[in-house]
């Protein structure tokens, strides 16, 4: 897909998905609506996001929040695993 043929209008469902921060759902909606390959749909969504600075900024913020949320869950899981391991292997030393 060339730069000249990119259509910056997206289906309503794709716009709703982008508003919620779900880029994969937006790609899927564009792919189904326009009957194009996944790679072409990714290009369309990427071009649309880059053409909308506020949307681009919001997507970056959502992505960073997701990464920190995942990090918090990993830390919590690690703390629980350490506590369980300590209880199982060192409980006789209490």
Give residue-wise pLDDT tens across range 1-45.
444 444 568 889 998 888 887 889 999 999 999 999 999 999 999
Q: Is residue 26 part of a domain?
A: yes
80 part of a folded domain: no
**CA 68 to centroid of chain Cα atoms:** 13
Question: Which tokens hold the place of 83?
Answer: 């506590």
Identify whether 41 is part of a domain.
Answer: yes
Is residue 83 predicted with pLDDT exceeding 90? yes
Residue 81 covered by a domain: no
Contact between 18 and 30 (Cβ < 8 Å): no
Average pLDDT over residues 69-74: 84
Total of domains in the chain: 1
């Amino acid at each position: 897909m060339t730069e000249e043929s990119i259509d910056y209008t997206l289906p309503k469902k794709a716009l709703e998905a982008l508003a919620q921060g779900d880029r994969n759902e937006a790609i899927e909606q564009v792919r189904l609506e326009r009957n194009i390959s996944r790679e072409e749909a990714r290009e369309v969504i990427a071009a649309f996001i880059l053409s909308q600075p506020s949307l681009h900024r919001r997507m970056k913020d959502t992505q960073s929040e997701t990464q920190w949320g995942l990090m918090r869950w990993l830390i919590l899981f690690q703390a629980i695993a350490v506590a369980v391991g300590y209880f199982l292997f060192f409980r006789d030393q209490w």
